[in-house]
Structure 1
Amino acid sequence: MNIQRWIARREAQWQELDSLLQRAQQRGVKAFNAKEIVTLASLYRSVAADLARANTNQIGETIVQELQALTTRGYSLIYRGSRRQELRDAINFYLWKLPQVLRETWGYTAVAFGVFLVGVLIAWWFAWQDASFMSLVVPQAMIEKVRDRHQLWMGSILGTEPFAASSIAINNLSVCFRMVGGGILAGIWTIFALFYNGLLIGAVATLVGQNGLAYPFWAFVFPHGSLELPAIFISGGAGLLIAQGLLFPGRYRRRDALRICGLQAAQLVMGIFPMLLIAGTIEGFFSPQEVIPSPVKYLAGTGLFILLILYILRKESDIG
């Protein structure tokens, strides 16, 4: 390889990229027309390849350093703008697009809530009619603690708040992701998971009610449950949405219906992710704290739920 000839042949492109980068730093990339943007990207890739060749062939350190500086400037300019755009897109999604998707798919969320509620009511009915039913759903250790010692189990979180918060969030995310993924099984697993969780909540609620512990129990549940339970219903709705695309594609081909419904389900998953992280943090650090009065916990949970409803009803046309 004739180094001097190679440098002479490539140097014009290095200078052209340097000139474009200087203009971009002074005026911004927005001042470029479409052709100049394409040229900038092409020159960056070309100079990056030159840097790799210069390193491989051990061309003079001065040339390597110059090319390294040039590609670093190009990378910073090109990909910084891309990251900024991605950040803007993410902010716009959570500010405007997600509430719109939640409104558009509220029917599926309502059906998911209905399945959950059926489980709650069945558990409540059978738990009052047959004392042995409770042991079929609720762990025996929990039953004995509530029934025999008249104690709740939330105190075990105290002292392990960071670990508990992360474990709770991971477990809730796992439950919700399985509900969403259950849609590909014609929604059967999604419906089962919603129904079973309803049975569990209904049985536990009946257990604490029968033993005079309903008020402190719901004081614990309200703060994080105001986000956690809606997230469960939304994830159930996402699973049912996928099942609908699979079973009832309508005027679309099944493949296209699944793609459309899957996109909306994925957007719902992006919504439940921060909800469950916040709920897990609240459940780990706030809900079990005995020093916080129960009325404050009820107020916090109610306030969070109201904020969630206001967020879902949020429309871009409401601003300005």
Structure 2
Amino acid sequence: MDVDAFVLANRPTWNRLEHLVKNRRRLTGAEVDELVDLYQRVSTHLSIVRSSSSDAVLVGKLSGLVARARAVVTGAHAPLWREFTRFWTVSFPVVVYRSWRWWVASGVVFYAVAAVIAVWVAHNPEVQASIGTPSEIEQLVNHEFANYYSEHPAGSFALQVWVNNAWVTAQCIAMSVLLGIPIPYILFQNSANLGVNAGLMFQAGKGDIFLGLITPHGLIELTAVFVAAGVGMRLGWSVISPGDRPRGQVLAEQGRAVVAVAIGLAVVLMVAGAIEGFVTPSSLPTFVRVAIGVAAVVGFFGYVFHFGRRAVRAGETGDVEDAPDVVPTG
């Protein structure tokens, strides 16, 4: 298709539709009918351009024009409850599901690094000496580690935990704008911290206490971090290798999807914070506390794979409905 000729032939139609959209509050009956007709015609033009041209600017302009015209024609946005339902059954789970290889790989590497560091710390007195004095390590393994979960009121502690974990997750999301390059370092820092604590606790014969306190909330908490890291790195890779689609279109679509994930993970981390604040320090038997943590992460996996797979089969991407196809530049 000759794009220049197509634009020249149809620009008056696009300009007229844009004029009617801008003056939608003062349209006569005939102009309303004209607006509906032009909306249908320009929607067809958009389909033609999308299938025949890689001009991201033209696709973005027509997509935005069609979206605005649709809003005028339909006269109302979708009900709030419908948007809420769509978010939790489509937008959030489909993006997480489409990125599952990235975040599963992140989790596997994270736990492997933590295990290696834990073994290294547990079997090397020199390493332990570089971490702290014998009295400091004894204080940590015998008092500080366990007291951390019970020294504050459960409600305030849960809020503190949520803020901390939300910050780590937000870092992973934010680093997606740098193509995800800093994300492995963020994960390594947290993995090393987990490994050091595990090594010290196991070396002191308190591995059961360590696992009993970490597992209930740690499974769902770290999964949220892995998802944020995986989605962020996937966005970075999508920009580096966009395939046969315009890079601007890929960035816009994936960027909006990452925002949806950030919102969804904030709620997931609230669950993790509640478990850490109310379940981990509770007097419940260890196996019950661990079972609650396992149930939370299994429930999350089931939710993501059920709704995510269903949305993928329906052709959903998790992008905002009627969103423009490129990142606005002005």
TM-score, length-scaled by structure 2: 0.64
Q: CA deviation at 1:166?
A: 0.9
Q: CA deviation at 1:317?
A: 6.2
Pair 1:101–1:216, CA change in 2 (3 A): same
Offset from partner CA, 1:172-221 (integer Å, 9 cap, x none): 10111001111222322211011111111122112111112121221222
Q: Please tell me whether residue 153 in structure 1 is matched to residue 134 in structure 2.
A: no
Matches within 5 A, 1:202-241: 202-241=195-234
| Conserved? CA contact 1:124–1:206, under 8 Å | yes
Q: Where does residue 125 of structure 2 map in the other structure?
A: 131
* Equivalent pair of 1:120/1:198 in contact (CA under 8 Å): yes
Q: Deviations over 1:149-190 (max 9, x none)?
A: x33523243442222111110111011100111122232221
> Could you report, residue by residue, the CA deviation over 1:242-267 in whole angstroms, capped at 9, with x for unpaired residues?
21133222223332222122122222
Please tell me whether the aligned partners of residues 115 and 191 of structure 1 are also in contact (alpha carbons under 8 angstroms): no
Q: Does 1:249 align with 2:242?
A: yes
**Superposed displacement of residue 229, structure 1:** 0.9
Q: Would the aligned equivalents of 2:183 and 2:229 in 1 still touch at CA under 8 Å?
A: yes
Match of 2:305 in 1: 313
AA matched with 2:118: W
| Distance change >3 Å, CA 97–CA 184, structure 1 → 2 | closer
Report if aligned partners of 2:113, 2:192 keep a CA contact under 8 Å in 1: yes
**Cα RMSD (Å):** 3.0
Of 277, 282, 290, which aligns to 1:284? 277
- Unmatched segments (≥5 aa) in structure 2: 1-31, 36-74, 312-330
Contact 1:119 1:197 (C-alpha < 8 Å) held by counterparts: no
Identity rate, percent: 22
Provide the C-alpha distance between the structure 2 equivalents of 1:250 and 1:235, rounded to a whole number of angstroms: 23
Q: Is the 8 A contact 1:186 1:246 kept in 2?
A: yes
User: How far apart are 1:312 and its partner, in Å?
Assistant: 1.6
From 285, 289, 293, give the equivalent of 1:297. Answer: 289
Aligned partner of 2:82 among 88, 107, 115: 88
- After superposition, the Cα gap between the structure-2 partners of 1:142 and 1:191, relative to the gap in structure 1 and judged at 3 Å, is farther
Q: Is the 8 A contact 2:122 2:202 kept in 1?
A: no
Indicate whether 1:98 and 2:92 are aligned.
Answer: yes
Deviates more, 1:124-133 or 1:233-242: 124-133
* 1:225 and 1:301 in contact (8 A); partners too: yes
* CA distance 1:216–1:130, shift in 2 (3 Å): closer
- Superposition deviation, residue 120 in structure 1: 1.1
Change (3 A) 1:88 1:144: same
Q: Distance in 2 between matches of 1:189 and 1:91?
A: 34
Distance in 1, Cα, partners of 2:250 & 2:133: 41
Contact 1:227 1:304 in 2 (8 A): yes
Structure 1 position 99, deviation (Å): 2.4
Query: How far does residue 101 in structure 1 lie from its aligned partner after superposition?
Result: 2.2
Measured in 1, the distance between the counterparts of 2:95 and 2:133 equals 38
Which residue does 2:137 correspond to in 1?
Answer: 143
Q: Relative to structure 2, which stretch is displaced further, 155-164 or 205-214?
A: 155-164
> Which residue is 2:180 aligned to?
187
For 1:87, the aligned partner's letter is W
Q: Which residue of 245, 268, 271 maps to 2:264?
A: 271
Distance, in Å, in 2 between the alignment partners of 1:233 and 1:138 is 30
**Structure 1: which 5+ residue stretches go unaligned?**
1-34, 39-80
Instruction: Report the more deviating stretch, 243-252 or 212-221.
Output: 243-252
Q: What corresponds to 2:106 in structure 1?
A: 112
1:4-153 to structure 2, matched below 5 A, reads 85-134=79-128, 143-147=137-141, 150-153=142-145
Does the aligned pair in 2 maintain the 1:96–1:314 contact within 8 Å? no
In structure 2, relative to structure 1, the CA distance for the partners of 1:135 and 1:91 (3 Å cut) is farther
Q: Structure 2 CA distance, aligned partners of 1:88 and 1:223? A: 33
Specify which structure has the bigger relative contact order, considering alpha-carbon pairs within 8 angstroms and separated by 6 or more residues. Answer: 2
Once the two structures are TM-superposed, the CA of residue 286 in structure 1 deviates from its matched residue by 1.7
1:14 aligned partner: none
Q: Does the aligned pair in 1 maintain the 2:91–2:257 contact within 8 Å? A: no
The structure in which a higher percent of residues are helix is 1
